[in-house]
Amino acid sequence: MRLLVTGGAGFIGANFVQQTVRERPDVTVTVLDALTYAGDRASLAPCAQDVDLVVGDVADVDLVDSLVAGCDAVVHLAAESHNDNSLADPRPFLRTNVEGTFTLLEAVRRHGRRFHHVSTDEVYGDLPLEGSTRFTESTPYNPSSPYSSTKAASDMLVRAWCRSYGVEATLSNCSNNYGPYQHVEKFIPRQISNLIDGVRPKLYGTGANVRDWIHVEDHNRAVWAILERGRAGRTYLIGADGEHTNREVVEALLEIFGHPRDAYDLVPDRPGHDLRYAIDSSLLREELGWEPTYRDFAAGLEATVRWYQDNERWWRPHKDRTEQRYRALGR
Ligand code: NAD
Ligand code: TDX
């Protein structure tokens, strides 16, 4: 199989490509990535010999057409992915997430290729902090931020291209990922790199918001299960029952570093901050037999801390600029 992976130099994409090269020698991988501030060639270093990296934009019609023509299937991960950035400047989110997905859909329609669209649980909005309701495939869309609204728009395009043009596409909406190669702007790597630098972790608001954490390798195994065995036109929710308040995550990190559990700072909240996400992944488990392998969040977190300690050369070049941006936001 000749696979085109968009966004393959980002966090989830680089893990997906590395895993694919390791576990599936029959698959040839081409990556299309614009290498924005979030993409890093170094994330593909362990498999650089086996992967063709094309530096370019998913909204570039001619480039996308020629790459799609030369592949059997596309896994689409390229996106502007950070909520805080989307609040500061939404424009790139429209271009990459909406126009980029449209450009890919038109190309797979022309060439009759299989398409998998990687999306987020944030398209469903948020859930109350109290209670045990969870998102399912039939929860109505209700996005809150510029980021999640552009992801919701891209999901709608995929659904419409399936129904109206018969494009053979699947969608997945996953909860918060953690693991190696995640940009230091995101919650867990920001706090780990702060702790390595002797800086106290920063919690938005009161730290009571809940996220449903899944290890990036479990997400990527689910994407492969859907690519191989998922039904065209279907949406699958991906989640590993990993709900924790942000405060609990920071306390666990402080414990790993041997600091008092309350050695964090509360900083001004994110505008429109979604309260709680939680995924019901029964469909994926029952229909495709997927199960997470990282069941112990504390152990997964500790392994992630070790990775950041051992790979400072990978994240250090991004740290100062990221913290400058947060300082400007007062966070
Ligand atoms: P990321 O920001 O780490 O990586 C995004 C990649 O896309 C980068 O390599 C970047 O260079 C590339 N890119 C951006 N704009 C591009 C463009 N116009 N053309 C080509 N490449 C471009 O993001 P991530 O966390 O790896 O997320 C990957 C996908 O998974 C996104 O679609 C995101 O919405 C989705 N997702 C992420 C999470 C999460 O917790 N991180 C959870 C669910 C879904
Ligand atoms: O310094 C921080 N302190 C803090 O309390 C940062 C950066 C974040 N937070 C909070 C905000 C969220 O409640 O931590 C939680 C996680 O924040 P992010 O890492 O920014 O993730 P989130 O906004 O939940 O979105 C993530 O999950 C869904 C990804 O960035 C998206 O791409 C994905 O779609």
pLDDT in tens, 19-55: 999 999 999 999 999 999 999 999 999 999 999 999 9
Q: What is the model's pLDDT at position 103?
A: 99
Summarised one tens digit per residue, pLDDT across range 123-154 is 999 999 998 999 999 999 999 999 999 999 99
Q: What is the model's pLDDT at position 34?
A: 99
Query: Helix, strand, or coil here: 173?
Result: strand
Domains of the chain: 2-183+213-241+276-294 (3.40.50.720)
Q: What is the model's pLDDT at position 221?
A: 98
Are 195 and 259 spatial neighbours (Cβ–Cβ below 8 Å)?
yes
Residue 274: CB partners within 8 Å, gap ≥ 6? 122, 125, 126, 144, 145, 148, 209
Q: What is the model's pLDDT at position 33?
A: 99
Q: What is the model's pLDDT at position 136?
A: 98
Evaluate: CB of 31 within 6 angstroms of ligand 1.
no
What is the rounded radius of gyration, in angstroms, for the C-alpha atoms of the chain? 19
Which residue's CA lies nearest to atom 23 of ligand 2? Answer: 83
The single residue of 57, 80, 147, 264 carrying the catalytic annotation is: 147
Q: What is the model's pLDDT at position 125?
A: 98
Confidence of residue 5 (pLDDT cuts 50, 70, 90): very high
CA 47 – ligand 1 centroid, Å: 19
By percentage, how much of the chain surpasses pLDDT 90?
A: 100
Q: What is the model's pLDDT at position 146?
A: 98
**pTM attached to this predicted model:** 0.99
Using the 8-state DSSP alphabet, how is residue 307 labeled?
H
Summarised one tens digit per residue, pLDDT across range 251-302 is 999 999 999 999 999 999 999 999 999 999 999 999 999 999 999 999 999 9
Mean per-residue pLDDT over the chain, rounded: 98
Task: Tell me the backbone φ, ψ of residue 54, rounded to 5 degrees.
Answer: -100, 120
Q: Report the alpha-carbon distance of residue 231 to residue 14 in Å, rounded.
A: 25
CA 270 – ligand 2 centroid, Å: 10
Confidence of residue 207 (pLDDT cuts 50, 70, 90): very high
DSSP 94-152: IIIIIIIHHHHHHHHHHHT-EEEEEEEGGGG--B-SSS---B-TTSPP---SHHHHHHH
- Choice from 11, 18, 75 to test ligand 1 binding pocket (greatest atom count within 8 A of CB): 11
Summarised one tens digit per residue, pLDDT across range 169-196 is 999 999 999 999 999 999 999 999 999 9
